[in-house]
Amino acid sequence: MTSKGRTTEHPMRGRGATPDPLVRLSVNLSPEVADELKQYAGRKGVSVTEAVRRAITVLTFVESAQSRGASLHLEEGGALKEILFLG
Instruction: Provide the residue ranges of all domains of the chain, joining segments of one domain with +.
Output: 6-72
- Measure the CA–CA gap between 86 and 71, rounded to whole angstroms: 13
Q: Of all helices (H) and strands (E), which one includes residue 33?
A: helix 31-44
- Measure the CA–CA gap between 85 and 14, rounded to whole angstroms: 42
Residue 46 CB neighbours (<10 A) = 14
10-45 pLDDT tens trace: 454 455 667 789 999 999 999 999 999 999 999 999
pLDDT at 5: 55
pLDDT at 10: 47
Predicted structure pTM score: 0.70
46-66 pLDDT tens trace: 999 999 999 999 999 999 999
Listed in sequence order, the residues at least 6 apart from 24 whose beta carbon sits closer than 8 Å to its beta carbon are 5, 6, 7, 8
